[in-house]
Chain A
Amino acid sequence: MKTSAKIVVLVTLLLMLTSVANVVVAQETFMGKTAAEIFPIPDVAANEQEQQLAFQALLAANLPDGTALGAGKTMTFGVLGQGVRGGISGTIYFWRNAFEAATGAEMEIVEVPYNELGTTIPADFLTQQYTYDAFIGAAWQYGDWVSNGWIQPIDQWIGDARFPAWSPEDTAPAFRALLQWGGQTYGTQMDGDAQLFYYRNDILNNPDWQAAFEAEMGYPMPNPPTTWQQLLAVTSFFNGKDWNGDGDPDDGISLHLAPGGQGHFHYATLAASFAVTPAEGDDPRAVTKYDNVFWFDPDDMTPLINQPGHVRALEFLQELAATGQEAQFGWQLGEAWDNFLGGNAIATFSWGDVGSLSQDVSRSSIKGNLGAAPILCSEEWYDREAGQFVTSAEAPNCVGNTTGGSWHPTMSAFTDVPELTYYFMALLANPTINFYNATTGWQGIDPCCTYQLYEPRGSAVSEDYTAVGFDAGDMERYINSYGSNVYDKPTYLTYLRIPGTLEYIQETLDIRLSEAMTGQSSAQEALDATADDWNGITEDLGVEDQLAIYQAAIGYSP
């Protein structure tokens, strides 16, 4: 070959290589930024695997160019504050660079501690500061936010191609209802909170422990328990025994029961099946004066919290808590989770976080041994209409829940940059990004949507989870239970989201529950005191106003 021909071939090859390299570079940047620039280690991503997985999710999200919306602008975002790598707030820090790259805007993040949620954001609106363009709070605050006109509907932008794609139709109906008020959508999907039941699959399936249980209790071990009463038998049996082989006695149950530690959610989840009855007829979820009501009488706002079903539920919670460490009466959420994840408790009931955190081997020693099941039913419950308790082990009362904050963004009614704000809200709701967030565990984002659930409820497959390092068996039990938990229960605990919800729950019920759990008062005394407190709050806020909002919130027509 002549020298000139060799040069031509060489140049051609070089050109081809350059063009291939350019394609690769083009595929590996987002708005001209690399993975290392969007998710720098350790400032944003913890390691290279996290960086790459997040970047893949970002590229797959196919975000539209938002520079026309955001160039030169600043958005201020308020969020439940748990730090740069903490639950909920960590998500905002994690995706800030991507948002700024996509829009050319800047985002300021303001963290609000959990116990200040009821102070900081309302005070900002009440004093007409309007600091936040959007904020992530709990769904139970809608009563205050909507009735005061602090947040605005976002329906006009949903489906608009200028914004990241997401659809409320992907959200499980139970969670979708929490994004809406009065037929309008106020929030974008992000986190779906519902408590389900977790247990140690390896221990409950161990033939030796099964035989020991039967020998001690006189009947086969319920595996897994499906009622609260069965759970109590199981935790009573295992509590104090060294079933994990570490040489120390281990726990039956692991709960977070400190004041301010969100223990009232444990109570509500458990008490639902003791105090709520499904409606008779075609629609068991229909709200009547006696059925599917938990908090107040829907005709006059009389508190139901000290009714016999509630009292029995609190007594039961006292019995159940006694099958765990006494220290749990002073535990916050993370301590209870860590006790279970560390392999020291046979069971817990909590949010979806436990499912994803169990796969994080830096925090969990139970990966591969996680058992999960829909929230338990009760063999004993109070029929308020008949005025008597009903007992049935064969057909227990099953009441699901969407207990928790279901943390998600809402937009201030006073924002100067609504479209830019919506861009970020939609970014977080994008299925690819939301799926990634829910698999991290540390972000505190739980499954909310069909794309996270297996068939027949959703479109996810096992490989979606094993691809990020999750155990297939754990996910089979966890994801299926989560889906069943939010879709299949005959009826659900109504969600309290009226003005003053924080006062009713955190400032009174939470404290009274702590008093009962630490032996300062009986269950009846604690709940009677709660009812008194609630009457005072309702009177302060106006009985008629509260009643109208409560009826609308639970879907009751007198």
Chain B
Amino acid sequence: MRRQPAKYFFLMPGVVWILLFTLFPLIYSLYLSTTNFRMGREPRSVGLDNYAEILGLDGEGGDDKARDTAGFSVFLSIGSTTLTLVFGTFVAWVFNHDIPFLRQMRAVLTMPLFAAPVAVGFLGVIIFNEVNGPINNILQGLGLGRVQWIIDPWGARFAVLITDVWQWTPFVFIVILAAMQGIPDDLYESARLDTKSNWSLFRYITFPLIAPALGTVFLLRLVETIKVLDIPTTLTRGGPGQVTQTYTFYIYETGLKGSFQLGDASALSYLVVIVAIIISSIYFWRVRARFE
């Protein structure tokens, strides 16, 4: 085979980019996670002590802040992923029908997706305001009383969850709608000879055919919700106490705020990377098992 040196020239930018901005930070942060590095001070190697302290393998009970924030992240991940998939799929199914003003409504529905999460968080501060916020005013008007969205621990958790679901449902809607519109009409026409039930049509035709798209969206949403930082930072500032502090919020506070404990923060980050790798491996294993 003829050698083509020029190909290396064209490959070089991509290789350099990956080496500099992906592999180097990944390896360097792995190294940092085995040190007690605080910015401004000389790092000292501590082996796997950072991991042991976080996980409680050193016999001292573990990092309770890491445990608590991870708990909220799991709540947010499961809650937001599930709700955005359910709502997004339902709305996509509705919009997959021939209804008036479809295009206009579709454009309006996708708007939250284009707002910066920080702005959405600040918008939430107004919407969930306990004294004058519109949600509480509506609830009060309906005779349901007011909810302490910001100061009650569960109220605050749900305020963050609702805001995240509101912003990301349109993403699921767009992807699933595209998948639904790719299903040939003749499949439905044939099926309607056997049943008039919309639920049966959805269950036996639509759902199986959008399942790959749903799986992809599920994975993307799951990983995305694990990373959520902006909305709780602006909406509740992690409070009351730290009940709405996500795990990534805690990593940010540990590594990049005040104390600059980059060693601890790197170890915390690697634990997320491990979780993300496990989730995606399971997903791709299932996809391969099903489609190959």
Contacts and interface: CB of A to CB of B under 8 A. Distances in A.
Contacts of A199: none
Interface in B177-191: none
Contacts of A506: 258
Given A126-B39, A327-B131, A520 B257 contact: no
Given A326-B151, A329-B151, A259 B242 contact: yes
Residue among B38, B151, B237 facing the most chain A CB atoms (10 A cut-off): B151
Given A325-B131, A514-B240, 19 more contacts: A115-B257, A116-B257, A123-B39, A258-B239, A259-B236, A259-B239, A259-B240, A259-B241, A260-B239, A327-B148, A329-B151, A330-B130, A503-B259, A507-B259, A514-B239, A515-B242, A518-B239, A520-B243, A540-B261
A515 B64 CA distance: 14
Contact of A518 (B152, B237, B260, B261): B152
Given A259-B241, A325-B131, A330-B130, A119 B256 contact: yes
Nearest to B39: A126
16 contacts: A126-B260, A148-B40, A258-B240, A259-B238, A259-B240, A260-B239, A327-B131, A327-B151, A503-B258, A507-B253, A507-B257, A511-B239, A520-B153, A521-B241, A540-B38, A540-B261
B150 interface: yes
Given A259-B241, A514-B239, A515-B241, A118 B130 contact: no
A122 B257 CA distance: 9
The 4 closest A-B pairs by CB, nearest first: A515-B241, A259-B239, A118-B258, A330-B150
Contact of B260 (A115, A123, A259, A512): A123
Contacts of A122: 39-40, 258, 260
Interface residues of A, number: 32
Contacts of B258: 118-119, 122, 500, 502-503, 506-507
B54 to A, nearest CB: 13
A521 B36 CA distance: 31
A537 interface: yes
A58 B162 CA distance: 52
B241 A518 contact: yes
Contacts, number: 92
Given A503-B258, A507-B253, A330 B40 contact: no
Interface in B132-174: 148, 150-153
Contacts of A119: 256-258
Contacts of B238: 259-260, 511
Contacts of A325: 131
Q: Is the interface of B mostly helix, strand, loop or mixed?
A: loop
Contacts of B39: 122-123, 126
Contacts of B259: 500, 502-503, 507, 537, 540
A260 B38 CA distance: 23
A327 B150 CA distance: 8
A507 B256 CA distance: 12
B242 A326 contact: no
Interface string B239-266: 1111100000000010011111100000
Interface in B102-148: 130-131, 148
B151 A518 contact: yes
A210 to B, nearest CB: 30
Nearest to A537: B259
Instruction: Report which residue of B36, B151, B257, B258 has the largest number of chain A beta carbons within 10 angstroms of its beta carbon.
Output: B258
Interface string A512-540: 10110110110000000000000001001
A450 B219 CA distance: 65
A115 B258 CA distance: 10
Interface in A147-204: 148
Contacts of B38: 540
Nearest to A332: B237
A138 to B, nearest CB: 13
Interface in A106-127: 115-116, 118-119, 122-123, 126
Given A514-B239, A514-B240, A326 B40 contact: no
A274 B7 CA distance: 76
In this complex, the member of B130, B237, B241 whose beta carbon has the largest number of chain A beta carbons within 10 angstroms is: B241
Nearest to B150: A330
A520 to B, nearest CB: 5
A125 to B, nearest CB: 8
B38 to A, nearest CB: 7
A545 to B, nearest CB: 11
Contacts of A260: 237-239
A258 B241 CA distance: 8
Contacts of B40: 122, 126, 148
A330 B240 contact: yes
A119 to B, nearest CB: 5
Contact of B130 (A327, A512, A514, A515): A327
B186 to A, nearest CB: 56
A23 B242 CA distance: 64
A330 B149 CA distance: 9
Interface in B35-64: 36, 38-40
A59 to B, nearest CB: 41
Nearest to B63: A536
Contacts of A116: 257
A115 B240 CA distance: 16
